[in-house]
Amino acid sequence: MIASNTMKHLWDDKNQKFIPHIYIKGSPFPKDFDENQIYYHGGTAIAIEANLLSKEQIKTSLDKMIKNVKDAGAATIGLTVYPTYPAGFFKNKGMYPYGYQNGGDWTWFGEE
């Protein structure tokens, strides 16, 4: 049931990717910011490990990850997200673009 609902509510079939967030009371971000442009590498990798995606969806996901790696100039598909959230979107100072969870490249994860 969890797997089914995850794919039903979080998989964007049109864009062949996971929706970053579903907000109950509306997005905390500015109206002109399209959060669905962000690709979540880590969450997608875990969904693949959990056997949620079909072989075709995995191929599409990996192709997108490889393109993101090239576009970001990263070393591995261990990017957390790409593109990053803009500077100043988070209260935590460590969440700057390409830092840790905001586009950081976790090479130890991406090379496994």
* 43-93 pLDDT per residue, tens: 899 999 999 999 999 999 999 999 999 999 999 888 999 999 999 998 888
Whole-number average pLDDT of the chain: 92
Q: Please, where are the H alpha helices in the chain?
A: 2-10, 41-49, 55-72, 107-110
The pLDDT value given to residue 9: 95
Of the candidates 39, 5, 3, the one whose C-alpha atom is nearest the C-alpha of residue 20 is 39
Q: Is the pTM of this model over 0.85?
A: yes
Residue 110 has pLDDT above 90, yes or no: no
Angle between helical axes of 55-72 and 41-49 (0-180°, round to 10):
150
